[in-house]
Amino acid sequence: MTRPEPSIELRPKLVGERIKRTEDPRLLAGVGRYVDDINPHGTLHVALRRSDQPHARIIRIDAGDALSVPGVVAIYDATDIAGEFSPAIPSSRMPGYYATPIRPLAEGKVRYVGEPVVAVLAESRYAAEDALEHISIEYEPLPFAIRQVDAVKDDAPLLHEEAGTNTIIQREFKRGDIDSVIASAPVTVKGCFRMTRKTAVSMENRSYLAEWDERKRSLTLYTSSNIPGVIRDVLADCLDLPGTRVRVVAPDVGGSFGGKGSLYSEEMLVCILARKLTRPVKYVSDRLEDLSATSQAFDELIEAELAVDSDGTMLGLRADVIGDVGAYSIYPWTAALEPVQVVSFMPGPYRMEHYRGRIRGVLTPKPPTGPYRGVGRPSSTFAMERLVDMAARRIGMDPVEFRRKNLVRDEEFPYRTASGIIWDKSAFQECLQGACDHVDYQALLSERDSARSEGRWVGIGLSSYAELTGIGSRISVAPGMPINTGTETSKIEVDSTGAVTAAFGVSSHGQGLETTLAQVIADELGCRLEDVEVQHGDSSLVPMSTGTYASRSAVLGGGAATLCSRVVKAKVLRAAAYLMEQNVEDLDMSQGIVSSRASNKTITLRDVASAVYKQMGRIPLKQREDLVASETYDPYLGTACSSTHLAMVEVDRETYGVRILRYVVAEDCGRIINPMIVDGQVHGAVAQGIGAALLEEIVHDDQGQAVTASLADYLVPVATSVPDIGVVHIEADLPNNVGGFRGMGEGGTIGAPAAIANAVDDALAHLGVSVQTLPVTPERIFQMLRDRREVAPSVTGTT
């Protein structure tokens, strides 16, 4: 009779559990450490005199009595720092692309209102600001085209003469013969769609502090960036310093949403001045500067046409896009970042054989466009989903059934879209069904129709989208950018006390990475969650780091953590097998305790670490291994993430204000690490999407002046703007990557604007108007109805 093998009691897996965020105690108690909390002795503060001209030649700069202001130390313009740096060049291999040089201060001329021209350094920010009032700048105004439709013309004034054109990027994606298909299609719908300029309104403004160590001749930059590794690499080049003498640290960061995900002139400036003066130099932008000089987003003009068969089958799509990229091509992402993604993702999650998407990225005298939550896909989803609803209405088909008919089905994965993107597999159909089931779609239609019978303007809208997340090296290499965005490195070490330190190149700005990555490590390594310290946001932690963007942290960071944990765990088990006199195949570890299936023997991780590091001779030299590993993960392609959003809205017949009555998101983000954090990401992203749909808009007047440079004019969502949001998690087949994770941080901003636009359009359809521009503000609704009444006076506000 054989004795049964004892089992190892394992704690339930942490991945998938609603673990409270380990970051929150310090953040909620107000003891987080942000850039502005760091105040080295002797710090000088920078205030910037910014251009008040959209396009002008700098004739003369007069400092006046600025140096006499108490506390002022120095004043610099571009001529004072010439030769102390090389400009950053956002390079690319795309044909016909022109990379505008990025410099700390304007040289020779200015190209947008808000561009830095003069820097004042003082013992306090107050003194520096006071000194700005004494500085005068004489400009020679130059002609300009403020709108992309004018800037794209052959005879438009040039913003960068050396480029020879304002159109610095052009790209085309095509498959099939779309012109013939549209010419012969039974049904076509078309429109000219636009999402106006937005900007990230992070709780923490952009902030930078540079310290120069004269003894080591090294530089440390504390930055609110979410790409510290990218910033380290470019600064090393610009300042001609070895990477070992440049360290970039992103401490606690109060939000980014992409707006802090590029190199800024001010980052270069504080580093140059800190080295020049051998004193710490700090710059913290105010809200006016953030709204007028932080990179902006969208501003795409999309002319699109969809061909549909009489039974509702999509036949083909063509789109021509003019992207307003602002005055500069942003580093490292280039001017192609936003417009190229509009046309590459335009076909979305739908089957379609014929497609042509063209873009032109055009320079205008505005702040550069750069990363913003969703990058290109909010605009493409808005245009595509509006066409979907327009086509469904034209043929008299329910919009849910229209989508169901055309969404890629499970048996068709992997599916190559008409623009060339490959969807590995995601729950396209299941998300649509999940959203409808959550709200009881048929009952919701009845509720809408009942409200309409009372004379209320109520509508229902949907949007289905797909995005590529956690992109690997194959895709990141293609554009020829100066950085690698396709890999992530994790370094994990167990010290002599059994504590686990895990370092990453990703950088958190509110996503809860310290918690989620620790959950992955605790599960894979078998240690306790409380024994794991996750380090991030420091360019010195791993050999190559980029940061956090493009919904990559869970996929690439989680993948690297998984691989690295497995290597370290194998080392722990080999050491434990020797110490316990057991076969390594019989061992496993959970909660920091190694147990054997073949006996009742156990040993703690702490005891194993002590034997490895402190008890010399206990493990033979040839068998002793440091409990350390470094692994890099490259998913090569990436993985699809998908969602369906459903909204019901009511438009007030007197004020034209839009109120959201119901909202649900059904999303597939693969294996969920922490549902509580995922829900928070969804809620936050939908709130931001509501802002894009109903409120947020950067406006430049005909003189190139930003007229929305305060939070009194640039409206963001408040608590009353955001309804209760239903979240349906669809965990279909997991992606074929390490960990089974998908990215999901951007989904709310991608799907929400289109769903709300479709709902508002549905509410107003009986009045003969069509929503084609976002945000759909009360003023825009009023103008649409007024214009419609002028064309057709018989249209009234009754049903």
Give me the helix-helix angle, 441-453 and 428-439, nearest 10°.
Answer: 50
CA torsion through residues 265, 269, 272, 274, sign = negative
* Digit-coded pLDDT (tens) for 401-449: 999 999 999 999 999 999 999 999 999 999 999 999 999 999 999 999 9
pLDDT value of residue 684: 95
Q: Which residues neighbour 652 within 8 Å (Cβ) at sequence distance 6 or greater?
A: 457, 658, 659
Mean pLDDT of the chain: 94
* Digit-coded pLDDT (tens) for 292-345: 999 999 999 999 999 999 999 999 999 999 999 999 999 999 999 999 999 999
Calculate Rg over the CA atoms of the chain: 28
Within 13 A of 208's CA, how many CA atoms are on the CB side? 28
Domain with CATH 3.90.1170.50 in the chain: 35-142+203-255+260-293
User: CA-to-CA distance for 84 and 274, rounded, in angstroms?
Assistant: 12
User: CA-to-CA distance for 88 and 697, rounded, in angstroms?
Assistant: 29
Residue among 400, 480, 484 at smallest CA distance from 442: 400
Q: Which residues of the chain have pLDDT under 50?
A: 1-10, 794-799
Architecture of domain 24-31+487-633: 2-Layer Sandwich (3.30)
**CATH code, residues 296-473+636-791:** 3.30.365.10
pLDDT value of residue 9: 44
What is the pTM for the complete model shown?
A: 0.95
Domain with CATH 3.30.365.10 in the chain: 24-31+487-633, 296-473+636-791
User: CA-to-CA distance for 461 and 644, rounded, in angstroms?
Assistant: 11
Residue 350, classed as helix, strand or coil, is: strand
Q: What is the DSSP string of 641-665?
A: EEEEEEEEEEE-TTT--EEEEEEEE
Number of other residues whose CB lies within 10 A of the CB of residue 689: 30
* Digit-coded pLDDT (tens) for 17-48: 999 999 999 999 999 999 999 999 999 999 99
* Digit-coded pLDDT (tens) for 691-721: 999 999 999 999 999 999 999 999 999 999 9
State the burial class of residue 620 (Cβ atoms within 10 Å of its Cβ: 0-12, 13-18, 19+). exposed
Token pair for 300: 């795409």
User: CA-to-CA distance for 746 and 467, rounded, in angstroms?
Assistant: 9
Please state the three-class secondary structure of 667-732 as a single string: EECECCCCHHHHHHHHHHHHHHHHHHHHCCCCCECCCCCECCCCCCCCCCCCHHHCCCCEEEECCC
Contact 131, 72 (CB under 8 A): yes
Which residue carries 């709200």 as its tokens? 439
* Beta-strand pair 56-62/136-141: antiparallel
User: What is the third-level CATH fold of 35-142+203-255+260-293?
Assistant: Aldehyde Oxidoreductase; domain 3 (3.90.1170)
Q: Which residues neighbour 367 within 8 Å (Cβ) at sequence distance 6 or greater?
A: 112, 114, 199, 292, 293, 294, 295, 296, 326, 327
Residue among 691, 725, 705, 547 at smallest CA distance from 196: 691
pLDDT value of residue 480: 67
* Digit-coded pLDDT (tens) for 601-654: 999 999 999 999 999 889 999 999 999 999 999 988 889 999 999 999 999 999
**Which residues pair with residue 305 across a beta bridge?**
190, 318
Contact 552, 469 (CB under 8 A): yes
* Digit-coded pLDDT (tens) for 204-221: 999 999 999 999 999 999
pLDDT value of residue 735: 86
pLDDT value of residue 549: 87
User: What is the biggest distance separating any 2 CA atoms in the chain, rounded to whole angstroms?
Assistant: 100
User: CA-to-CA distance for 548 and 538, rounded, in angstroms?
Assistant: 12
Number of other residues whose CB lies within 10 A of the CB of residue 70: 10
Strand ranges for 176-313 from DSSP E: 187-195, 198-199, 207-213, 218-223, 246-249, 281-284, 296-297, 300-308
Residue among 773, 696, 174, 754 at smallest CA distance from 464: 754
pLDDT value of residue 93: 87
C-alpha distances in angstroms, 772 versus 202, 520, 523, 781? 28, 43, 48, 11
C-alpha distances in angstroms, 287 versus 34, 265, 711? 17, 17, 8
Percent of the chain with pLDDT over 70: 97
Give me the helix-helix angle, 399-406 and 377-395, nearest 10°.
Answer: 110
